[in-house]
Chains A and B, each alone.
Chain A
Amino acid sequence: MGCVLTKKSRRPPGYEEPTVLAAETPFTVSEVEALYELFKKLSSSIIDDGLIHKEELQLALFRNRNRRNLFADRIFDLFDVKRNGVIEFGEFVRSLGIFHPNAPVEDKIAFAFRLYDLRQTGFIEWDELKEMVLALLHESDLVLSDDFIETIVNKTFSDADTKGDGKIDLEEWKEFVSKNPSLIKNMTLPYLKDITLAFPSFVISTEVEDSE
């Protein structure tokens, strides 16, 4: 009796069936299969193990594996739901699903809140907001005085922290976003609607018919 490698045995750890992922996200089965093509590419760019490592995400975002960025680090941490240092396929699809144009706005608002809640305390705190402004200024080589930055952070807090307890909770954040909807503009990737056009190779290998 020989040893036969089935298609399933070649699937990386964390692989989940497209039908399951399509049922839980705004993607169709075909789109999940197209995302698998993208995932395979990203997850083999440095270490070919079928998992996206932080350096691989950095390489894809910046064309540079060593380029660090506070927000890219936060994105990685949020995609890495199991917190095991890598992004698995299921985590990748579920997280990208939040950025789909058809995903619920509530999910986008909650994701952005978690992105900005740097220390995961359940609140966006004054120090965290200042740290994020400093990080993006550093990134863009812009120089602003500390006083000026604190004025911006104070003003934002006076608008968003309606309870006045020095921190922004999810409820206050939802209210603030409803008044400033442009704040979650970066939580939608229109490109995700055309994902099957970008990665069409799934068409010849697809095993499952879309139900839609």
Chain B
Amino acid sequence: KPVSMNAFELISRAQGFSLENLFEK
């Protein structure tokens, strides 16, 4: 359902990284 897609939802899900990576050893 592309037209019901929310651009912010798309961005927050796929921002390309997670800050959790900072804690990886």
* Complex partner residue of B16 from A129, A139, A198, CB under 8 angstroms: A139
Asked if B16 and A140 make an inter-chain contact with CB atoms under 8 angstroms apart, the answer reads: yes
Interface string of A126-145 (1 = CB under 8 A from B): 00010011001001100000
Asked if B22 and A61 make an inter-chain contact with CB atoms under 8 angstroms apart, the answer reads: yes
* Total residues of chain B contacting the partner, CB 8 A: 24
Q: Which residues of B contact A96 (CB under 8 A)?
A: 19
In the complex formed, the residue of A with least CB distance to B7 is A156
Asked if B8 and A185 make an inter-chain contact with CB atoms under 8 angstroms apart, the answer reads: no
Which residues of B (1-25) have their CB < 8 Å from a CB of A? 2-25
Asked if A136 and B16 make an inter-chain contact with CB atoms under 8 angstroms apart, the answer reads: yes
The binding surface of chain B is classed by DSSP as helix
* Whole-angstrom CA separation of A140 from B19 in the bound complex: 18
In the complex formed, the residue of B with least CB distance to A60 is B22
Q: Number of contacts between A and B (CB, 8 Å)?
A: 86
Interface string of A174-196 (1 = CB under 8 A from B): 00100010111110010100010
Asked if B12 and A99 make an inter-chain contact with CB atoms under 8 angstroms apart, the answer reads: no
* Whole-angstrom CA separation of A75 from B19 in the bound complex: 9
* Whole-angstrom CA separation of A186 from B19 in the bound complex: 9
Q: Which residues of B contact A180 (CB under 8 A)?
A: 6, 8-9
Q: Which residues of B contact A62 (CB under 8 A)?
A: 17, 21
* Whole-angstrom CA separation of A139 from B14 in the bound complex: 9
In the complex formed, the residue of A with least CB distance to B19 is A189
Asked if B12 and A186 make an inter-chain contact with CB atoms under 8 angstroms apart, the answer reads: yes
Interface string of A63-100 (1 = CB under 8 A from B): 00000010110010000000000000000000010010
* 16 extra interface residue pairs, beta carbon distance < 8 Å, beyond A139-B14, A159-B6, A180-B6: A60-B24, A61-B22, A62-B21, A96-B19, A116-B11, A133-B7, A148-B2, A152-B2, A152-B5, A152-B10, A155-B3, A160-B8, A176-B8, A182-B12, A186-B13, A191-B23
